[in-house]
Amino acid sequence: MSLVDDSTAANRASLVSQAGPQDFIALLKPRVMSLVVFTALTGLVIAPGGLHPVLAAVSLLCIAVGAGASGALNMWYDADVDALMSRTATRPIPSGRVAPSEALGFGLVLSVLSVTMLGLAANWLAAFLLGFTIFFYAVVYTMWLKRWTPQNIVIGGAAGAFPPMIGWAAVTGSVSLESIILFLIIFIWTPPHFWALALLKSEDYARAGIPMMPVACGEAETRKQILLYSIVLAPIGVAPSLLGFAGITYGLVATAGGLGMIWCAIEILRHREGGAARKASGRMFGFSILYLFGLFAVLLVEHLVLARFW
Amino acid sequence: MSEPTSDPGIILTPEEKRRQRQRNLAIALGLGALCVLFWVVTLVKGSAILQRPM
């Protein structure tokens, strides 16, 4: 009898969607999207030339939706491993609120709409870059790199680094050194940021069989790599000032922030056991978000202030 | 002539009906927003909508 009941319940669950609109919003990874929107906005604002404010707003919306779509595709493919990790077990698919097919359809439709709309509102180079970003995150990172190599986040980080370049391309119709520098800042920032989180959640990743650096190469190697990437990141963070597309305020903030990143990385290297080690990793994770947000915020404000008063 | 089936099919619970209504409303709002977006972009770009630099 209970077998029949279970089978009926499972059949019902597969036929009747339990999802509310908030579950589909969760599929878009709103927190990741907020950073994407912010960095893309910076690319839009600091790019030379101008874009009609309405078209700029539509472009930004398209970039946000495209990023959300790639998040939905990521959750569709990763539902099996998400169910095994405490950080992701409550996501809409592993918790059973959204069917995998719903997430796939949702992600694909939003991908096509966002890329098409960006092409029509801005230009097709920006649309191509957005499409490539979605493909890179959903296919190259999620389907290929993530379960295959400890360098997953290093290469996959490119997906998160494209938004300012897309914003720049939406205005100028081109890719230039400035937009490549903005790309590089996020690209080099990504590994120490995620590895700090991976140190905190290494048991989760090990349970799910994801070869994140601490799982595949050990925590000691991860700590060294975090420091190495932080040392490389610090001068790249200052580059916009040195190359003349950011001012002295940005230069000072980037220098202080870069030193802060290196200091956090040294703390991670020094504290390897127990609560102090977890605290150091947590501090690195939190500071890295503040660092990236700070750099792009100062860059944005500098350009808005300069545009207003000079 | 086959007899009409008496199977009522799946009957949604009030909670499922509420979520279905919310989903329908969200889809309607999304489609409406998309129409407005196309309309606004066409207004702003004018004839340039057909002249897009690569």
Tens digits of residue pLDDT in B8-54: 778 888 888 999 999 999 999 999 999 999 999 999 987 766 665 55
Distance in angstroms (rounded) separating the CA atoms of residues A191 and A153: 6
| 8 Å CB contact of B52 and A119 | yes
pTM of the entire predicted model: 0.89
Grade residue B3 by pLDDT with cuts at 50, 70 and 90.
low
Q: Rounded to whole angstroms, how far apart are CA atoms A138 and A127?
A: 16
Residue A46 touches chain B, beta carbons under 8 Å: no
Segment (H or E) for A97 = none
Stretch 1-54 of chain B: residues touching chain A, C-beta under 8 Å: 10, 12, 16, 19-20, 22-23, 25-26, 34, 37-38, 40-41, 44-45, 49, 52-54
Closest CA to A58 of A112, A110, A130, A121: A121
> What are the tens digits of pLDDT across the range A190-240?
999 999 999 998 888 888 888 989 998 999 999 999 999 999 999 999 999
- In whole angstroms, what is the distance from residue B22 CA to residue A97 CA? 14
ipTM value for the complex: 0.77
